[in-house]
Amino acid sequence: EDKVVQSPLSLVVHEGDTVTLNCSYEVTNFRSLLWYKQEKKAPTFLFMLTSSGIEKKSGRLSSILDKKELFSILNITATQTGDSAVYLCAVFDYGQNFVFGPGTRLSVLP
Amino acid sequence: NAGVTQTPKFRILKIGQSMTLQCTQDMNHNYMYWYRQDPGMGLKLIYYSVGAGITDKGEVPNGYNVSRSTTEDFPLRLELAAPSQTSVYFCASSSSGAQQGLDGNQPQHFGDGTRLSIL
């Protein structure tokens, strides 16, 4: 059975800190890994990763995938209170199935 | 751009009642999905569809039914509501990538969710 594990499940930091969120997976027929940010309502897309070792960046956020060790990390530098959210990791397989992890709840204090 | 639209936003049902959660998208996406999200948990796939007329079960399909008669619409039906179905329901859609000349399924676009309580 496909499985996605995220750690930590929750994290409290202060503004300006750097955080690293982890996602590991056991998926048959892996195709891609996606990161989403969920605030009050619908998840919003951050990154899609399909190849190992290629970092994707968007402002203060970056992510990388390791297909050999079956994990990905999401880094947020110089955190702001607006980064407070649940960060979801999802894996997409060739069976057209998205499997989501439980999420990491990040709280950034002023 | 409307994107993915879900209705209603909130609903309270009594045990044993039935209802349909509506989902429509205007992006001509061929893939559509229904998820439920329980408090403090991730998203669990209920059903998905890879195109009009084609649906398939996800991780937690029991107690639900879907249909996909058009590309735009993907309603989710609860026949006999049970308290265990109290949750927030999200509909999502994505393209296959091939529609845009890209390789692989593209990221999902989510609706704003339907908060359903069964009492």
CB A60 within 8 A of CB A78: yes
- The length of chain B, given as a count of residues: 119
Give me the residues of A, 25-44, that contact B with CB < 8 A.
Answer: 31-32, 34, 41-44
How does pLDDT run along chain B (119 residues), one tens digit per residue? 679 999 999 999 999 999 999 999 999 998 899 999 998 788 888 999 988 999 988 889 999 999 999 999 999 999 899 999 999 999 999 886 555 555 555 788 999 999 999 99
R_g over Cα of chain B: 14
Q: At CA A48, angle to CA A46 and CA A52, rounded to 5?
A: 130
* pLDDT over threshold 90, residue A30: no
Residues of A within 8 A of B110 (CB-CB) are 42-44
The 10s digit of each residue's pLDDT in A63-72 is 999 999 999 9
Match 């751009």 to its residue by tokens.
B1
CB B97 within 8 A of CB B107: no
What is the average pLDDT value for chain A, to the nearest integer? 91
Q: Is A11 an interface residue toward B (CB < 8 Å)?
A: no
